[in-house]
Amino acid sequence: MNTKSILVPFDGSRYSKRALDEAIKTSKISDAQLHLMMAVNSPKLEPTAVVISGVVRGSVNKAISKYVNEMYERANHMMEENVEYCKKRGVEADYKVVPAIGPAKAILDLAKKKNVDLIIMGSQGLRGIQKLKVLGSVSRHVLENATCPVTIVH
């Protein structure tokens, strides 16, 4: 397989950090471009009719907007650090922070859009996954639905 482009979904978990290291090794061997991504879920808040009235609604909207902006700022900062981490190891990388209703769909959509040859991702994310599970729901969904090879790192 001639790997020219690798997508690395990143969520800050130890598994995604291991996946990034594996992607760096693979990139060095194949001279592939690394594309890092992070899917950020925006909170959905559906206040009751009482809360929706007047000033309260404005306060809730401002608080949600501030929270979402902070999430994106943290995600961008983390991804910039990862790009620098790759660069120090001799690999060029770019990144994208995407809004996601579902992280698996965001990963599959970006893989298709970037026409990647390989996805390298962690076996589990930051969610409270039971220790008995081998794969998290996101990695399982990507593995089962990707149109390119997927390497799962544990």
Which parts of the chain have pLDDT scores under 70?
A: 1, 42-58, 60, 125-135
Q: Are 93 and 35 in contact (CB under 8 A)?
A: yes
Domains of the chain plus CATH, in order, are: 5-153 (3.40.50.620)
Whole-number pLDDT of residue 66: 86
* pLDDT of res. 61: 73
pTM of this structure: 0.84
Q: Give start and end residues of each alpha helix (H) in the chain.
A: 14-30, 49-52, 54-88, 103-114, 137-145
Per-residue pLDDT at 17: 96
pLDDT in the model for residue 102: 84
Q: What is the pLDDT of residue 100?
A: 74
Q: Rounded to the nearest 10 degrees, how much is the dihedral formed by the CA atoms of 16, 20, 22, 23?
A: 130
> What is the residue whose two structure tokens read 């690798």?
6
Q: Give the pLDDT of residue 89.
A: 97
Q: Express each pLDDT in 49-94 by its tens digit.
A: 444 555 455 676 777 788 888 999 999 999 999 999 999 999 999 9
